[in-house]
Chain A
Amino acid sequence: MSDPVISVRNLCVEFVTRRGVLRAIDNVSFDIAKGEVLGVVGESGAGKSVTGSAIIGLIEPPGRIAGGEILLHGKRIDNLPQEDMRRIRGRKVAMIFQDPLTSLNPLYRVGEQLIETILTHTDLSPSAARERAIALLAEVGIPAPDKRIDGYPHEFSGGMRQRVVIALALSCEPDFIVADEPTTALDVSVQAQIIALIKKLCRERGTAVMLVTHDMGVIAETADRVAVMYAGRVAEIGPVRDVVRHPLHPYARGLMGAIPTLETDAERLTQIPGAMPRLSNIPQGCAFNPRCDQAFDRCHVERPEPIEPQGENVEPGHRVACHLYTGGEGAR
């Protein structure tokens, strides 16, 4: 892999609550290269959004980064003063959220918001900024962009709004984008269009993307690599084909079997018993052990770290955090 755009090293994020300190992200590490899409999947509460927010410096009290480092092109950004981080957020990193309305101000015309962002972060003249805004809207597939630029957000459909948000995120040519469930609120036909758009942008502009979603299908279509998160940890990470077709971690296997698809004919879906633990109650050892039908003694005492399994026929860079693969007693 070429030099990563983003490196997350042993990230820990905590929330201070009345009931104590909750660790939402616990020792998470990964890299994302230029032009690469890292998909992040996992159940609700697994820590996908918190990880994304931490990278772009949007963790707010009572949350805090409690450990680890975040590097952009090799330079730490997790310990920058707020003012510097805000500047980076405008120019180098950007985000796209699930609900386009959280990123668009309903009171301003779409064009005003785009132009303002462009003016804040570049040296363009107002008329050049307007030209650029129109070009961006065209690039994300808005028909008649020279007319639509003067429309208000409510005059756009959900899919069109999400395109505008993507245009807004692109307006400063960021090197890295966090897209947190960008298609969850959209219909499948529109979702397919937005996915195609994100892929095209990565390819053409070399943007690195962290794509957060519940939808394994979206990941399979879009991502180059995928990280499966569980209870604030990375359970498995690797090239998307390898993880989707040959998941190793018992949780990842269960997750894959639980999804009805157009290709398979399962009479029953795989059922993972129970539910994800609360942050206040994460089990000792492997966080998945109460739900794992392959758990053994070691799983209850020692936490497994992500490693490339030995003896398994996996692609390089496919890592799994499970004692079944760490060698020694109980391993396969």
Chain B
Amino acid sequence: MSGATKPYVTVRDLRRVFDVSRPWLNRVLENLPKAYLKAVDGLSFEIRKGETFALVGESGSGKSTVARMVVGLLPVSGGDVTIDGISMTGHHDPAEKMALRKRIQMIFQDPYASLNPRWRVERIIAEPIHAFGLLKGADVTKRVGELLTLVGLHPDDGKKFPHEFSGGQRQRIAIARALASSAEFIVCDEPTSALDVSVQAQILNLMRDLQKEFGLTYLFISHNLAVVRHMADRIGVMYLGRLVEVSEGKRLFSHPRHPYTRMLLDAVPDLGMTGRERQMVAGEIPNPISPPSGCTFHPRCPLANERCAREAPAMLDGVACHAVEEGRSA
């Protein structure tokens, strides 16, 4: 990965608001206002070609919402996603957008829900090939066999249905399908979170091998910090719909700067039993419908002061935190 090349994916001020109001009649009877939830609130990051950019954060921080907007499964409420110079959100030539879609694929957490249970595996994998008119007839069958072999399954497995496979094997099928359209950018939303650690190791190794072989670019989403550390070149930490810190992979762990990043790292169970010093942070992610004022982390933050409750910190040099900016985070 070289720093000089221009970014392959650029996400600028991405926003998504959900209307979570009660039904109209309830609102009228109970005199309730409309309610909105800012699931993603002004997110910007870049991904270079061939690198793995990871988003980490606790449940509800907005990771999946970002993923779905980046691949175009969910309309944005604001901001822009540009991939290889083509805006996903702007008004572009439909043919150009179609060509771009082919190069982007997504892998989901639950490999069962994302595979049509009534289709044989060969049809599932061939779907993008047909959809984009890439190959025809016997060539499709041959390609499906190649893809199955590539992900460590057997070409004969194409004749089976998804329920005949284990969780890890289903995730391999999902990966094979993602590769079927010769995608070069793959958005992976918690791809191993539903899997046993031994199966997770197989899938993570496979994803890295494929990245090396085909120069794939990954947006890799997980709540598991150790997994993210293993996979990512760069990492963005999310809290309540915002990025609080962006850092080179290993550096985030050796030099965490944002108080929330530090708290997350402290919370990871210490498998090495090194007896590392940790500070337990009280509290949980607040209700996203009525987030705290200013820096949304301030009710849980040991460094919070009066400014934090008032003013949201801007992202400066990879961290959004007043204490870091003021030099009082030590």
Question: Chain A interface (Cβ within 8 Å of chain B)?
Answer: 43-44, 157-160, 187-193, 195-196, 214-218, 220-221, 240-241, 244-245, 254-255, 257-266, 268-272, 275
Contact = CB atoms under 8 A, between A and B. Distances in A.
Contacts of A160: 284
A192 to B, nearest CB: 4
Contacts of A159: 284
Nearest to A217: B269
Interface stretch (B33-41, B112-120, B272-280): B272-280
B280 A193 contact: yes
B77 interface: no
Contact of B253 (A158, A190, A215, A262): A262
A221 B276 CA distance: 11
A329 B173 CA distance: 42
29 contacts: A160-B284, A187-B284, A187-B285, A188-B264, A192-B269, A192-B278, A214-B197, A216-B197, A217-B271, A220-B270, A220-B271, A220-B273, A221-B270, A254-B198, A257-B201, A259-B201, A259-B271, A260-B226, A262-B226, A262-B271, A263-B271, A263-B272, A264-B272, A268-B205, A269-B205, A269-B230, A270-B201, A272-B201, A275-B199
Q: What DSSP secondary structure best describes chain B's contact surface?
A: helix
B284 A255 contact: no
Main secondary structure of the interface of A (DSSP, over half): helix
B200 to A, nearest CB: 7
Interface string B177-195: 0000000000000000000
Nearest to A45: B196
Interface residues of B, number: 42
A257 B198 CA distance: 9
Contacts of B293: none
A179 B156 CA distance: 42
A189 B205 contact: no
B267 interface: yes
A63 B311 CA distance: 60
A196 B266 CA distance: 13
Nearest to B300: A189
A259 B267 contact: no
Nearest to B168: A275
A216 B264 contact: no
A187 B283 CA distance: 11
B264 A215 contact: no
A274 to B, nearest CB: 9
Contacts of A157: 284
Given A259-B271, A263-B274, 8 more contacts: A43-B196, A158-B284, A187-B284, A214-B196, A214-B197, A217-B270, A255-B198, A257-B201
Given A187-B285, A189-B58, A261-B226, A216 B271 contact: yes
B270 A271 contact: no
A262 B228 CA distance: 10
A244 B271 contact: yes
B44 interface: no
B305 interface: no
Interface in B141-192: 166-169
A319 B98 CA distance: 60
B201 A189 contact: no
A188 B273 contact: no
A-B pairs with lowest CB-CB distance, top 5: A217-B269, A258-B201, A260-B230, A269-B201, A187-B58
Contacts of A245: 273
Interface in B240-273: 250, 253, 263-273
Contact of B58 (A188, A195, A218, A261): A188
B37 to A, nearest CB: 16
A224 B166 CA distance: 32
Contacts of B166: 275
B100 interface: no
Nearest to A215: B269
Contacts of A260: 204, 226-227, 229-230
A255 B197 contact: yes
Contact of B197 (A221, A259, A265): A259
A196 B278 CA distance: 12
